[in-house]
Structure 1
Amino acid sequence: MPGTPAAPPRRATALLVVLGSLTAVAPLATDMYVPGFPAMGAALRTNSSAVQLTMTAFLLGLVVGQLLLGPLSDGLGRRRLLLGGAAGFAVFSLACAAAPDVYVLIAARFLQGVAGAVGMVLARAVITDRFTGADIPRHFAVLSQILGVAPVAAPVLGGAVLAVSTWRTVFGVLCLVGVLLLLGVLTKVPESLPPERRHRGGPAGTYRAMGDLVRDRAFLGYVLVLGLASGALFAYISGSSFVFEHVHGVTTGTYSLVFAVNAVGMLLGGAAFARLARRFRLNTLLSAGVALAGTGALAQVLVTAAFGETMAGTWITLFVVMCGIGTLIPATMSLGQNIGRAAPGAASALLGGLQFLCGAVASPLVGLFGEDSSLPMALVMLVSLALAALALVLLVRPRQGHGEVTGAGR
């Protein structure tokens, strides 16, 4: 089904800025308040485990929100849900700021996650609605780069707020972000799915479309590749601070530099994908990204096993992994969304939902196996990426060219 004719360049730029901001809000809300965990525990008279549950609740809300509201948008349209999501994010952020105890905070964080998921899932659907051909992988590359930068910027921004105020102010700032997103959607995001292109049959019809996508072997393969690779990414995010600060003994400032440099690797992977997408098949670039990330994870395991814990070896191999992940994320999004073009909201929900579900599962596994070595993190990443490669070979079957967009190289 053809997309809506692309907007003029200036309007398209404004649209993409708002869509990128909607994509960034979830990682910002995930990580901005992390530096305030100790103060939150003291203020709410609770332990660290209960405080960490607020993070789990938010991630669960992201998964539920994407799986619930993405498919509904195929029948109801995008704009109303985007407006509701931005408004809800502002309201529930304010509820987090005013939470009298940790139980109210956990509930508010779950609802904040559901509202924040609307922007993430529908940003991808709007791009699929409005753009065609080689524009799609280019724009998805931008969204994936934003996802790479936001987790780096979030703790820095949160730390700056905490330097002058309390953890409650962090949620006040997120409330303001929600208000700004609401204004951005009101002024810059028109309805991208006209009534004549919407799914009929109510919610049941839209969820049947999701079921049809799950039964599509290639689409399921792309969903699994993205989800499993994201498991490796979240294992890195959750485990890298322990590896560099506890195992290698670096300062918090040095670790921030390491994390930022590796984020640049993810950006470089996305930039390379955007440039090469016009010349090479997207399945070829996806295969290269999976191979590069898997090679980096395998190298980390082998280097640690052969030479012991080395700062340089860990840093270099993780940089390679981030370059590969930066390439494969926009590739899987582009290919999966193109297969699901008849139901972009449902396709986006499945791609994004499993992405965060795998992340939520992989993150605690690193700590479960100990924090005195980099091997637990490396092994979780390697297993995740090996399973992603298996899904690529058995389900995607790149040579068959499923989901290739018009204008991509052959």
Structure 2
Amino acid sequence: MVSLPDSPAPEVRATAPSPPSAASPPPSKGTAAGLVAVLAALTSVAPLATDMYVPGFPDMGDALGASSSAVQLTMTAFLAGLVVGQLLFGPLSDGLGRRRLLLGGTAGFVLFSLVCAVAPNVGVLIAARFLQGVAGAAGMVLARAVLTDRFHGADLPRYFAVLSQIMGVAPIAAPVLGGAILSVSTWRAVFAVLTVIGVLLLLAVLRKVPETLPPERRHGGGLAATFRAMGALLGRRAFMGYVLVLALVSAAMFAYIGGSSFVFENLHGVSSGMYSLVFAVNAVGMLIAGFLFSRLAGRVRLITLLVTGVGVAALGALAQTVLVLTAGETLAGTWITLFVTLCGVGLVFPSTMSIGQALARDTPGAASALLGGLQFLFGAVASPLVGVFGEDSSLPMALIMLVTVAAAGVALVALAQPWRGQGEPRR
């Protein structure tokens, strides 16, 4: 891989971060817990809105007179909205502040969830889903920016671990919750529930999330200067290295999400209930890794945890590929190797978020936009690839996961260069 040239602007080292300004003092322990709880809930909105309505796809197609491909396009539109929304809200918040954009985005999520619930045809639903994704992205991208504003040192990685664990749990809970709703009502009720969730989050933001970026710390020069600051981040080699590590490992996880049901249910013949158990156990692997990360952050260097995570994920993906090529398709082998891979993913997510935000502490909103936007962009591209390359073997899923994790390793070495120690919090 060709290394990007370093930008003329010096990269921000987080080994000795500046203390919070007097206008944004660190919160007390009780206040911090409430703030982090709300930010975690905001982070869960996207995976909930992504997966809750999936069990209702057949009924949705019948009700709207739409083809299966048109119904699936509602999912693609939402993911595209998440990418666009993060790239929009993140840099805007560096110039305008966090709170009003967070309130506006959450209110927009409520509105467009309601539009989805009453959509008369699939065209309106697709448009509403895109706008719902744009609005819902505000909670995800600004949650990371608010954490970066408020917390420093070893606290920041621990709280990023909480957000990463939520991202691991929400995709499991979403289809279960959606299935429960569909057992007593229609797919429209799923979006009605999302509307109610949005209202509750809006009230929580009003009560628990203060403005964390006072005017004196905002970027001047208007919107053009704000987006130029995000463009400048693209020239920071180390920062973009960590962004690519996160995006490529996310691609591996989305390939797993997109292909695992086919692999376990069609190839290995497990029931849908058994597949839910497999999915849940693998997600527990991510949670365990995230918990270990939160306990070790501050004692072990973040780059050590990151390199370990990439190595574990690569080991799992390689073992899966080798097993398929040698021993053939085995349920136990596939399950174990995927569990190992996702344990590695559980270490990579909070590590890259923490280091990336620390490297760009001067523009945390723009940094959060690039970290989250590319994460979902790469994931959206990787998710359908498993089906494209064939459905008679689990080898396509294994190879896609192996290639993306290996590419993350290349980005780590060639661009991030973790041995330089950039992005480490002060102990």
TM-score after normalising by structure 1 = 0.99
SS of aligned partner of 2:183: helix
Task: Identify which of 242, 245, 252 aligns with 1:222.
Answer: 242
The residue number in structure 1 matching 2:194 is: 174
Structure 1 residue 110: deviation in Å? Answer: 0.1
Counterpart mapping for 1:128-277 below 5 A: 128-277=148-297
The letter for the 2-side match of 1:140 is F
SS in 1 for 2:287: helix
The match for 2:343 among 323, 328, 337 is 323
The one of 103, 108, 113 aligned to 2:133: 113
CA RMSD of aligned residues (A): 0.6
- Of Structure 1 and Structure 2, the greater helix share is in 1
Structure 2 residue 330 is the aligned partner of structure 1 residue 313: no
For 2:33, the equivalent position in structure 1 comes to: 13
1:39 aligns with: 59
In structure 2, runs of 5+ residues without a counterpart are 1-17
Match of 2:419 among 399, 406, 410: 399
Distance 2:237 2:407 in 1: 16
> Identity rate of aligned residues, in percent?
71
Tell me the amino acid that sits aligned with residue 67 of structure 1.
L
Matched, 1:377 2:397: yes
- 1:82·1:119 contact (CA, 8 Å) conserved in 2? yes
SS in structure 1 of the partner of residue 210 of structure 2: coil
**Equivalent residue letter for 2:231:** G
Runs of at least 4 residues of structure 1 off by over 6 A? Answer: none
The equivalences for 1:44-123 within 5 A come to 44-123=64-143
Q: Is the 8 A contact 1:5 1:131 kept in 2?
A: no
Give the structure-2-normalised TM-score.
0.95
CA distance in 1, matches of 2:185, 2:393: 36
- 1:2, distance to aligned residue in structure 2 (A): 3.0
C-alpha separation in 1, matches of 2:409 and 2:348: 11
The letter for the 1-side match of 2:137 is A
SS in 2 for 1:390: helix
3-state SS in 2 of match to 1:309: coil
Instruction: Measure, in 2, the Cα distance between the counterparts of 1:182 and 1:142.
Output: 21
Q: Following TM superposition, by how much is the alpha carbon of 1:137 offset from its aligned partner in structure 2, in angstroms?
A: 0.3
CA–CA distance in structure 2, aligned partners of residues 358 and 99 of structure 1: 29
Q: Distance in 2 between matches of 1:153 and 1:296?
A: 25
Distance apart, 1:5 and its partner CA: 2.7
**Aligned residue-pair number:** 407
Any idea what SS the aligned residue of 1:406 has?
Answer: coil
- Partner of residue 12, structure 2: none
Aligned position for 2:14: none
Match of 1:303, as an amino acid? L
1:123-162 residue CA offsets vs partner (Å, 9 max, x unmatched) = 0000000000000000000000000000000000000000
Please show how residues 322-361 of structure 1 align to structure 2 within 5 Å: 322-361=342-381
Which whole-Å deviations, capped at 9, do the CAs of 1:5-62 have from their partners, x for residues lacking one? Answer: 3211111111011000000000000000000000000000011000000000000000
CA displacement, residues 92-121 of structure 1 (integer Å, 9 cap, x when unaligned) = 000000100000000000000000000000
